[in-house]
Structure 1
Amino acid sequence: MIQRFADWLVYGVFGMSAETHFGSAVNFFFYDSVKILILLFLISMVMGIVNAYFPIDKLRHYLTTRKLYGFQYLFASLFGAITPFCSCSSIPLFIGFVKGGIPLGVTFAFLITSPLVNEVAVAMFLGSFGLRATAIYVVSGILLGMIGGFVLGRFRLERYLSPWVRQLQAQSDTKSEVWAEERTPFVRRLPVIVRDAWGIVRGVLVYVLIGIGAGAAMHGYVPEGFFEQYMSKDNWFAVPLAVVCAVPMYANAAGIVPVVQVFVTKGIPLGTAIAFMMGVVGLSLPEATMLKKVMTWRLIGIFFGVMTLFFILSGYVFNMCL
């Protein structure tokens, strides 16, 4: 239905030709914009319902007062997956976790998963690549958070936290608190959830349109085989090249998924494209700068190095599975 609407609007109302590069690019832009914005709003609604019944403070309290025998990495990754943050937006909550005395490995599990998996990424992935690829992407993002958090936690890197954080941790009071159950009926929460979902859509709208616009331009004008020359599945260095090129960049899922979609249509294997996306949204130079408040440069380097390696390995695994 959305494709028919885009065809009617671009080729019927606007009178553009489907045989031209410009007409093809404009058609792609309208089709992807409508599809992704609808999916984004619906999934933001679902995530808003989850967040309404799973508050941040309760999670912090739970992780600091219970013995979870390793499941804390899963809980932190799942919480990261349902929070709509990019790599830089995750930093304030990450700092709060560290200051609150949550183990460093657990906070890393959140920091890794939060920008990789969120309703924006899921909605756009679902619309672009289908249910199977989206499920693999979501599960792998959560597993990366769990494994990355566990590995980094085993390194016992607390000594590389900044003196400011260590002082705050020493003063942290982790006494148990009694949490009152939320009694607000769902029908009274729904208007707030809808408003918040629309706020998320408005907040990323510019990034979505810019990303889709870039993807549309590439879709319409980049010749077939251009990317295959350097990033085909036959080139063993394609995945490392994609990740290494992606890490210095900064974008959120709204801006990068349409570009990834075009990469795939131009011949890049989906696994390589996902590894590129993970490098862009999961690590960035602005993120490193913000982390300097709570980490030494050595710890930031270890974090970036370990995650770059994990993204590369994930790209090879994705190419075997997809």
Structure 2
Amino acid sequence: MFDWIQHLADWVVYDTLHLIKGQHLAEALNFFIYDSIKILLLLFVIIFFMGIINSYFPIEKVRNFLSRNKLFGFEYLMASLFGVVTPFCSCSSVPLFIGFVRGGIPLGVTFAFLVTSPLVNEVAIGLFLGLFGVKITVIYVISGVLLGLISGLILSRFKLERFLTPWVKEVLASAERDEEAFVAEKTPFIKRLPIIWDEVLKIVKGIIIYVLIGIAIGGLMHGYIPHGFFEQYMSKNNFFAVPLATILAVPMYSNASGILPVVQVLVSKGIPIGTAIAFMMGVVGLSFPEAMLLKKVMTFKLIGIFFGVVTLCIIISGYVFNIIL
């Protein structure tokens, strides 16, 4: 399917620039050209498709639906699935999280959304398809949704509302529930297309620099770091590789578009895919900037509990990936 892109990359690197195959620079540049074109094409397709979904299920209406309907535990799954169709990093998910809390949605349900949203979205899906194929993408999406679902359910059992900040408690005390009936949009699909396309361009413009930087870093690693360099430290034989990768990822911060090309190279260099994905989940789903934003609505104790539960779930996911893949 993507053979023409590889031929184009080879033509640019070897025929036009006259670099020698096997050289570090040639391998790095070839990787950058091939992955840049492939990933950007996939991003346009996936984001456009998800834009259609978003146009029929806008954020405010989903939030209101969740606040009014208690579907015997399925609201956790629905919140996690809603996280899949929102193209946000962990920091930009926080304002929506605050909106959920203000709307009266249970805290565990809001956590399910907050965990899934930065991990699994149209950008991450497009990148995963291009870098790892359909099988791993499907497993990753399912695991990301389950990660949000399980984290939300666990956190809901702790009755953590008492650890919300006074500001949130005041908001909740004075909040009025909107009981107006849900009114579906009547705009014809053909008239939605220009709006959807504008949103696609807006999203791509917002992430393209991160995509290119991530691919460039991946290209340098691909071309210059010897095969097996990482494997000696993070092989399947090292039982602590998954938690180590997850914990080391927390001080870092990036979105899926920036870190996934790096993950691809780590896998190609010998790191087990579960360990590499646990590292990615830690970078994307847990970060100091996110913690600082959450301080508006949570006490430090609640932030610590939230990070601890999500970290544990990510580590378990990493081990499961290593077993099944």
Which of 60, 80, 84 pairs up with 1:57?
A: 60
Partner of 2:189: 186
Partner of 2:84: 81
TM-score between the two structures when normalised by the length of structure 1: 0.99
**Aligned partners of 1:117 and 1:175: how far apart in 2?**
30
Q: CA deviation at 1:225?
A: 1.2
Q: CA deviation at 1:179?
A: 3.1
Partner of 2:222: 219
1:34 aligns with 2:32: no
**Aligned partners of 1:67 and 1:120: how far apart in 2?**
30
Q: Which amino acid aligns with 1:275?
A: A
Could you report, residue by residue, the CA deviation over 1:254-281 in whole angstroms, capped at 9, with x for unpaired residues?
1100000000000000111011100000
Q: CA deviation at 1:12?
A: 1.2
1:142 aligns with 2:148: no
TM-score between the two structures when normalised by the length of structure 2: 0.98
1:209 aligns with 2:212: yes
Q: CA deviation at 1:84?
A: 0.2
Partner of 2:179: 176
Unaligned runs of 5+ in 2: none
Q: CA deviation at 1:178?
A: 2.5
Percent identity over the alignment is: 64
Which of 277, 280, 290 pairs up with 2:283?
A: 280
Q: Which amino acid aligns with 1:195?
A: D
Q: Which amino acid aligns with 2:269?
A: K
Could you report, residue by residue, the CA deviation over 1:224-249 in whole angstroms, capped at 9, with x for unpaired residues?
11101100011101101100101121
**Aligned partners of 2:138 and 2:255: how far apart in 1?**
19
1:256 aligns with 2:259: yes
Partner of 1:4: 7
Q: CA deviation at 1:65?
A: 1.5
**Aligned partners of 2:56 and 2:98: how far apart in 1?**
23
Judge which range, 61-70 or 249-258, deviates more. Answer: 61-70
Q: How does 1:11-30 map to 2 (within 5 A)?
A: 11-30=14-33
1:301 aligns with 2:290: no
Q: How does 1:263-274 map to 2 (within 5 A)?
A: 263-274=266-277
RMSD: 0.8
Q: Which amino acid aligns with 1:12?
A: D
**Aligned partners of 1:55 and 1:203: how far apart in 2?**
20
Judge which range, 93-102 or 54-63, deviates more. Answer: 54-63
**Aligned partners of 2:264 and 2:161: how far apart in 1?**
39
SS of equivalent residue, structure 2 residue 177: coil
Unaligned runs of 5+ in 1: none
Q: How many residues get paired?
A: 322
SS of equivalent residue, structure 1 residue 89: helix
Partner of 1:245: 248
Q: CA deviation at 1:181?
A: 2.2
SS of equivalent residue, structure 2 residue 298: coil
SS of equivalent residue, structure 2 residue 90: coil
